[in-house]
């Protein structure tokens, strides 16, 4: 059978990424240019800086990928690109580039939902994860609980009502005078800390009255801020470990509760925060072979996940036209699909 090679392009936030994946699994190249150094001093992503950096880098990355792999645009069967959700100016660079490649080389164009692509990063390494599954996407921009019955039958069950979980890690790191992004640093420091040292209120916990799967991290963030104002002598490692436990436990509890109520026992996790050691331990120790986590290098934004999910739509012949647009949000109300 002929192999199918898909070029993936990802520019939804602050990583410019390109990849070629064969048959939805074999990564032929996977290049990521991270803009972290450009955004560090602002402790968060500055949209205009991000858009400009994508514009500067993307052609060089494409040249590098094709040169080092000895592949050519003609070898591609389609071009898949993240077109939603994300920073509009950033997405435009990727989508504009994909359209040019698609029209010059006469290759089908496939617009990809970045959140679903994160979940696909698990399928790059695990054969045949069966549908349906509960999807938990945890990143700098998203905290989403999803019921995934097929790639085009996805229902949002819970979302963040304020800060995303990764954003909470980044903001707490800033309060602690650490650098950006905060997640990996807090994770590292927490490994030498006592997670029970401080009991931050579980404000993000399941709200019995409203019985929902939404998340809120602003209360936890504020309680860390007040704690720091009062307590000057506490070990930073203990603060990190205690904050991390509060932030992650709620993800675990809500994911399990949704899995039980939907009678679906598989949980597929993805996004930058899926690299967190405490999260990985918590899910893996309790759920063993019912939980799927990507390798750490595929948790954060990359284009292999975009090309991989593109292969699925290629097989279904679900292509987009050259008027493909970009969208900042998943504008789907809770309880409804498809995202």
Among 139, 155, 159, 242, binds Zn ion (CB under 5 A): 139
Q: By C-alpha distance, which of 66, 9, 15, 7 is closest to 299?
A: 15
151's tokens: 């790639």
Number of residues engaging ligand KG4 in binding (CB under 6 A): 20
Stretch in the footprint of ligand KG4 (CB under 6 A) among 152-160, 165-173, 258-266, 284-292: 165-173
We find the least distance from the C-beta atom of residue 294 to Zn ion, in angstroms, to be 12
94 near ligand KG4, rule: CB under 6 A: no
* Partner from ligand KG4, Zn ion, none contacting 184, C-beta within 5 to 8 A by type: ligand KG4
* Partner from Zn ion, ligand KG4, none contacting 78, C-beta within 5 to 8 A by type: none
169 near ligand KG4, rule: CB under 6 A: yes
What is the spatial distance between Cα 101 and Cα 109, in angstroms, rounded to a whole number? 9
What is the spatial distance between Cα 5 and Cα 131, in angstroms, rounded to a whole number? 24
What is the spatial distance between Cα 99 and Cα 302, in angstroms, rounded to a whole number? 19
* Partner from Zn ion, ligand KG4, none contacting 276, C-beta within 5 to 8 A by type: ligand KG4
We find the least distance from the C-beta atom of residue 299 to ligand KG4, in angstroms, to be 7
What is the spatial distance between Cα 301 and Cα 271, in angstroms, rounded to a whole number? 7
Nearer to ligand KG4, 102 or 302 (CB): 302
Looking only at the bridges linking them, the beta strands covering 153-158 and 143-150 are antiparallel
Cα angle: 208, vertex 214, 217; to 5 degrees: 100
What is the spatial distance between Cα 246 and Cα 203, in angstroms, rounded to a whole number? 9
What φ, ψ does residue 82 adopt, rounded to 5°? Answer: -65, 125
Q: Which of residues 287-316 bind ligand KG4 (CB under 6 A)?
A: 300-301
- One-character DSSP codes across 177-242: T--SSHHHHHHHHHTTS-TTSS----TTS--TTT----B--HHHHHHHHHHHHH-SSS-HHHHHHH
135 near ligand KG4, rule: CB under 6 A: no
We find the least distance from the C-beta atom of residue 34 to Zn ion, in angstroms, to be 12
CB burial of 230-252 (b: ≥16 within 10 Å; e: otherwise) equals eeeeeebbbbbbbbbbbbbbbbb
Among 18, 20, 275, 309, binds ligand KG4 (CB under 6 A): 275
Looking only at the bridges linking them, the beta strands covering 5-10 and 267-270 are unpaired
Stretch in the footprint of ligand KG4 (CB under 6 A) among 64-72, 125-133, 182-190, 330-338: 182-190
Stretch in the footprint of ligand KG4 (CB under 6 A) among 175-183, 196-204, 251-259, 312-320: 175-183
Among 111, 135, 158, 183, binds ligand KG4 (CB under 6 A): 183
What is the spatial distance between Cα 197 and Cα 241, in angstroms, rounded to a whole number? 8
We find the least distance from the C-beta atom of residue 158 to Zn ion, in angstroms, to be 18
238 near ligand KG4, rule: CB under 6 A: no
Among 24, 85, 271, 294, binds ligand KG4 (CB under 6 A): 271
Residue 296: how many CA atoms within 13 Å on its side-chain side?
9
10 near ligand KG4, rule: CB under 6 A: no
Among 163, 195, 301, 320, binds Zn ion (CB under 5 A): 301
182 near ligand KG4, rule: CB under 6 A: yes
Residues that bind ligand KG4 (CB under 6 A): 13, 139-141, 166-167, 169-170, 181-184, 187, 271-273, 275-276, 300-301
Residues that bind Zn ion (CB under 5 A): 139, 301
């Amino acid at each position: 059978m002929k192999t199918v090679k898909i070029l993936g392009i990802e520019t939804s936030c602050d990583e410019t990424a390109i990849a070629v994946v064969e048959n939805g699994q074999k990564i032929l190249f996977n290049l990521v240019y991270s803009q972290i150094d450009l955004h560090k001093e602002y402790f968060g992503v500055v949209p205009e800086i991000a858009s400009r950096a994508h514009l500067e880098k993307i052609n060089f990355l494409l040249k590098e990928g094709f040169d080092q792999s000895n592949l050519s645009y003609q070898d591609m069967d389609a071009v898949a690109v993240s077109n939603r959700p994300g920073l509009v100016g950033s997405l435009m660079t990727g989508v504009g580039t994909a359209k040019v490649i698609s029209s010059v080389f006469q290759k089908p164009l496939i617009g990809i939902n970045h959140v679903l692509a994160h979940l696909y990063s698990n399928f790059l390494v695990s054969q045949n994860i069966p549908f349906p599954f509960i999807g938990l996407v945890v990143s700098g921009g998203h905290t989403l609980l999803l019921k995934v019955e097929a790639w085009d039958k996805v229902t949002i069950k819970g979302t963040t009502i304020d800060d995303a979980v990764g954003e909470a890690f980044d903001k707490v790191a800033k309060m602690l005078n650490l650098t950006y992004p905060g997640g990996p640093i807090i994770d590292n420091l927490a490994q030498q800390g006592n997670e029970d040292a401080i009991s931050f209120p579980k404000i993000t916990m399941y709200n019995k009255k409203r019985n929902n799967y939404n998340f809120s991290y602003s209360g936890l963030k504020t309680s860390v801020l007040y704690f720091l104002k009062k307590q000057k002598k506490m070990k930073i490692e203990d603060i990190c470990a205690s904050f991390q436990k509060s932030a992650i436990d709620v993800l675990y509890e809500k994911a399990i509760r949704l899995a039980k109520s939907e009678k679906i026992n598989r949980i597929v996790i993805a996004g930058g925060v899926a690299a967190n050691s405490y999260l990985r331990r918590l899910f893996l120790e309790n759920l063993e072979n019912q939980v799927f986590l990507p390798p750490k290098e595929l948790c954060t934004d990359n284009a292999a996940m975009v090309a991989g999910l593109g292969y699925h739509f290629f097989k279904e012949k679900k292509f987009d036209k050259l008027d493909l647009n970009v969208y900042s949000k998943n504008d789907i109300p809770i309880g409804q699909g498809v995202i």
